[in-house]
Amino acid sequence: MDYKQYIAARIPAGLPVEELAATIAVPPDPTLGDYALPCFKFAKLYRRSPALIAEDLASRYPVDEVVTEVMATGGYLNFRIDRKGLAKSTLEEIEKKQNLYGSSDMGGGKTVCIDYSSVNIAKPFHIGHLSTTVLGGALYRIYGFLGYRAVGINHLGDYGTQFGKLISAYKRWGNREEVEKGGIHAVNDLYVRFSNEATEEMEAEARENFRLIESGDEEANALFEWFKSLTLAYVEKIYERLHIRFDSYAGERFYIDKMEPVIQELKEKGLLVESQGAQVVDLEPYGMPPFIVLRSDGASLYGTRDLAAAFYRKKVYDFEKCLYVVAYQQNLHFQQLFKVIELMGEPWAKDLVHVAYGMVSLEDGAMATRKGRVVWLEDVISRCVEKAYAILAEKNPELENKEEVAETVGVGAVVFGALYNNKIKDIVFSYDKALNFDGETSVYVQYTCARANSVLERAGKFEKEGEIPELCSQEFELTKALADFPDAVLSAAKNYEPSVIARYCVDTAQKFNKFYIDCKILRAEREEVRAFRLRLTRATLTVLTNALTLLGIGVPEKM
Ligand code: ARG
């Protein structure tokens, strides 16, 4: 339950609930109350002193079984809520729903398409793909958790003149054995070499090779399919490590025969105009450059394929929303695309959402350069896992299955690093920071889970239901955090912002650790206090596990 909202709705001040809720704070000294409304900013409005306003509101506030006490102290209106009631209902719900705590069926019968990762065939899968892959993967699970049918789409970059170049390069310098062995790296090397060495004549040959793919030439298509399968085999291994899955791999090529009807419709609606030989939709009235549908040579573009894809998805999936998890560099592309669909009179244009995110770079080097110096995502993951192994071996030499734990910790650190900040921010990934046991990291959260696990293990059996004792502030803060989890999930979905859940994890882990350090759990003074604290510990483990799982991060039992 959102207590601020609940309290604000009952304050008889004649002000908007949202404004009041935003003003309510948690007092630093909990003896004053669980929540407080500072009345200073209302003094001007009511032409009275904050102290008088607080007193007046206190005398008229309707206390109930949730908000049990209201007091005015020096310009603040303080509220006390029924802590025991909160603890009882929260623990019971977590114990009942377990790994489904935080889920809902609000999305029942609705579909959300999520276009993410969307790799380019025969090109490096580099650190620039990290955010789209893990953000999209998290949104996929979050929407699924809320009862939606989530459709994960990998809109492959599998169409374009670069495949003609690749075929030329392969025929010139490549051989089957080497490429089989070197996989995507060998393919990429060929492509880079072509870019570096291509002459006028080779470019012409590449164009011809592309035309051959287009016209269904068997050899050219066999080569293309081979490059494609090498790329997919490679990325699928990474997806597995990152716990990422897709329902569709329909890429750009898939839409080649689905563009014509859409282009026809643009024509019929009078939206297509000629400009320097090209067919475009004029977007000048909307302050945007023209959206090019067909080049002067009649070739389609990235945008044309996206246009066809949007119509296809609407028809096949009848989505309530279609998300495109793509870097902010493509802001204009999506603004244009959505505008064109709106101009075509499609009411669902408003359901298309560009979920834009910032750049990821490494602390010790640039992200990608044109001439092939790229940071492969696989290398970042492997390096992080190796570092995690070294840290674990030092901290806990006795730990069994170190390798497995290091994989969970290392992969988690990479994922969490990309999800912790507001998605639009550029981030600089640092191995040391990401693997800091005391930082705002997944390792910290995982370690907290291992700690909770170890307490529970040592406790043995304990009373499941029992009298709830008076809560101290540490217990109360933790309980409140656990009660807030369903709201965090909703907010992450509503704002397309998994960072809400990542931050929730760190915040809740901090509250647990405060509770763990300040309150005796196993050696509590009374049996009912011990039982309650153990329930709270187990509930924390459940909630943190659910939260990390939504982000695609595993939880080792021991660390
Ligand atoms: N393959 C594209 C790229 O790497 C991303 C595709 C995003 N999805 C889309 N429907 N345009 O830039």
Category of 496 on φ-ψ map: left (φ > 0), alpha (ψ -120 to 50) or beta: left
Taking the chain (559 residues) in runs of 10, the rounded mean pLDDT of each run is 89 94 87 92 93 96 94 95 94 97 97 97 92 98 98 96 94 94 92 93 94 93 95 96 98 96 97 96 98 94 97 98 98 98 98 96 60 79 97 96 98 98 94 95 98 96 82 93 95 98 98 97 93 97 98 97
Q: pLDDT at position 367, please?
A: 45
pTM: 0.92
**If you take atom 11 of ligand 1, which residue's CA is the nearest one?**
306
CA 451 from chain centre, in angstroms, equals 26
Phi, psi of 68 (to 5 degrees): -95, -15
Cα distances from 199 to residues 194, 195, 204, 370, in angstroms, run 9, 9, 9, 18
Return the CATH number of 3-81, one of 3.90.76.10, 3.30.1360.70, 3.10.20.30, 3.40.640.10: 3.30.1360.70
How far apart, in whole angstroms, are the C-alpha atoms of residue 460 and residue 534? 10
Q: pLDDT at position 373, please?
A: 64
Nearest to 19 by CA among 27, 8, 10: 8
| Cβ atoms < 10 Å from Cβ of 98 | 11
How far apart, in whole angstroms, are the C-alpha atoms of residue 116 and residue 458? 43
| Cβ atoms < 10 Å from Cβ of 189 | 17
Q: From the CB of 497, is ligand 1 less than 6 Å away? A: no
For residue 353, list its beta bridge partners.
323
Q: From the CB of 115, is ligand 1 less than 6 Å away? A: yes
For residue 291, list its beta bridge partners.
281
**Rounded to the nearest whole angstrom, what is the distance from the C-alpha of residue 326 to the centroid of ligand 1?**
7
Q: pLDDT at position 369, please?
A: 41
Q: Where are the beta strands (DSSP E) in 358-482?
A: 360-362, 427-429
DSSP state of 301: -
Choose which residue among 326, 333, 357 to substitute to test ligand 1 binding: the one with the highest number of ligand atoms within 8 A of its C-beta: 326
What are the residue boundaries of the structural domains of the chain, listed by start? 3-81, 111-255+309-355, 377-551
**Rounded to the nearest whole angstrom, what is the distance from the C-alpha of residue 216 to the centroid of ligand 1?**
24
Q: From the CB of 165, is ligand 1 less than 6 Å away? A: no
Q: pLDDT at position 370, please?
A: 44
Q: pLDDT at position 240, please?
A: 97
How far apart, in whole angstroms, are the C-alpha atoms of residue 430 and residue 417? 8
Choose which residue among 118, 329, 341, 357 to substitute to test ligand 1 binding: the one with the highest number of ligand atoms within 8 A of its C-beta: 118
**Rounded to the nearest whole angstrom, what is the distance from the C-alpha of residue 387 to the centroid of ligand 1?**
32
How far apart, in whole angstroms, are the C-alpha atoms of residue 551 and residue 139? 8
Contacts 24+ apart (CB under 8 A), 263-272: 263/293, 263/294, 263/304, 265/344, 266/293, 266/340, 266/344, 269/343, 269/344, 269/345, 271/340, 271/343, 271/344
Q: pLDDT at position 30, please?
A: 75
**Rounded to the nearest whole angstrom, what is the distance from the C-alpha of residue 9 to the centroid of ligand 1?**
45
Return the CATH number of 377-551, one of 3.40.50.620, 2.170.8.10, 1.10.730.10, 2.60.40.10: 1.10.730.10
**If you take atom 5 of ligand 1, which residue's CA is the nearest one?**
118
**Rounded to the nearest whole angstrom, what is the distance from the C-alpha of residue 302 to the centroid of ligand 1?**
8
Q: From the CB of 324, is ligand 1 less than 6 Å away? A: yes
Q: Tell me, which fold does domain 111-255+309-355 have in CATH?
A: Rossmann fold (3.40.50)
Q: From the CB of 120, is ligand 1 less than 6 Å away? A: yes
Q: pLDDT at position 365, please?
A: 56
